Amino acid sequence: MAKPVLLVPIFTLFIMVSLFSSGSSQTMPNEQKTWCIANPLASNSALAANIESICSQLNCSSINPRGSCFEPNTRIHHASFVMNLYYQANGRHLADCNFINSGLVSLNDPSKCVLNSSSSYHGFVVQETWCVAKPGTSDELLQLNINFACNLVDCSAATRSGGVCYSPSTLINHASYAMNLYYQITGRKKSNCNFRETGLIVSSDPSYGNCSYGISPMQ
């Protein structure tokens, strides 16, 4: 006769969940953490400029050769680390992860090499999401993601020389394009941006110049 006893708390929980979701179906819970990462489409020079300007204000010793977040030693990983440092230090407003459109707000923790995020979204509404590769993912895993996704979706805009998303010609850019397209086409399920834990769901549109991260009518 345990069932009737359990009904009350379960029903109460149901009411609480209903109240919560009806008031904020489009808004993330206050406890939701966010991070800032570099856009895989950002140029090397834009990333270098971000590192220089942020590190003139904040302590970037972690990405120095003996720092705990030096590895993997890539520009996009170092830029992501310091862009997130800046974003966290300034209170996690959308504008603090813009960096002339070279930053993306991530809804997943990009790596151990970031400061803790403990604040809210400041009420911004998450309407659309995109999927990109984690800065710092190995070339082997990026290539596996490209092979997997491009077997199922048309990645030519990024993988064909001259395609609108080909530049910058880096594995992380091409993999991010492929992973996002797969994520969009399969209905933006969280699990479809996992890719052996190398994917990040972001709430900023990575589209840049003529390169669109939406689903084009042709596809």
Ligand X SMILES: *[C@@H]1O[C@H](CO)[C@@H](O)[C@H](O)[C@H]1NC(C)=O
- If one asks whether residue 48 binds ligand X (CB under 6 A), the answer comes out as no
Least gap, CB of 18 to ligand X (angstroms) = 31
Binding residues for ligand X, total number by CB under 6 A: 6
CB of 61 to ligand X, least distance (A): 4
DSSP state of 79: H
Give yes or no for residue 125 binding ligand X (CB under 6 A): no
Q: Under the criterion CB under 6 A, does residue 161 sit at the interface with ligand X?
A: no
CB closer to ligand X out of 22 and 118: 118
Q: Is residue 61 at the binding interface for ligand X, with CB under 6 A as the rule?
A: yes
Closest CA to 34 of 89, 108, 96, 97: 108
Q: Of the candidates 157, 32, 171, 190, which has an alpha carbon nearest to the alpha carbon of residue 105?
A: 32
Instruction: Give the residue with the Cβ less far from ligand X, 25 or 59.
Output: 59
Q: Which of residues 170-209 bind ligand X (CB under 6 A)?
A: 209
Q: How far is the CB of 210 from ligand X (least distance, A)?
A: 4
Question: Does residue 116 interact with ligand X by CB under 6 A?
Answer: yes
Alpha-carbon Rg for the chain, nearest whole angstrom, is 19
Find residue 202's DSSP bridge partners: 106, 130
Instruction: Show the tokens assigned to 170.
Output: 């880096």
Decide whether 209 or 214 has the Cβ nearer to ligand X: 209
Whichever of 60 and 107 has its CB closer to ligand X, that residue is: 60
If we measure between CA atoms, which residue out of 73, 81, 142 comes closest to residue 106? Answer: 81
**Binding of ligand X by 29 (CB under 6 A):** no
- Say how far apart CA 165 and CA 68 lie, in whole Å: 33
Of 167, 175, 187, 110, the closest CA to residue 148 belongs to 175
> Helical H runs in the chain?
3-23, 44-55, 75-89, 139-150, 156-159, 171-185
Rank residues 59 and 161 by Cβ distance to ligand X and give the closer one.
Answer: 59
Examine residue 115 and tell whether it contacts ligand X (CB under 6 A).
Answer: yes
Does residue number 59 form part of the binding site for ligand X (CB under 6 A)?
Answer: yes
Write out the residues near ligand X by the rule CB under 6 A: 59, 61, 115-116, 209-210
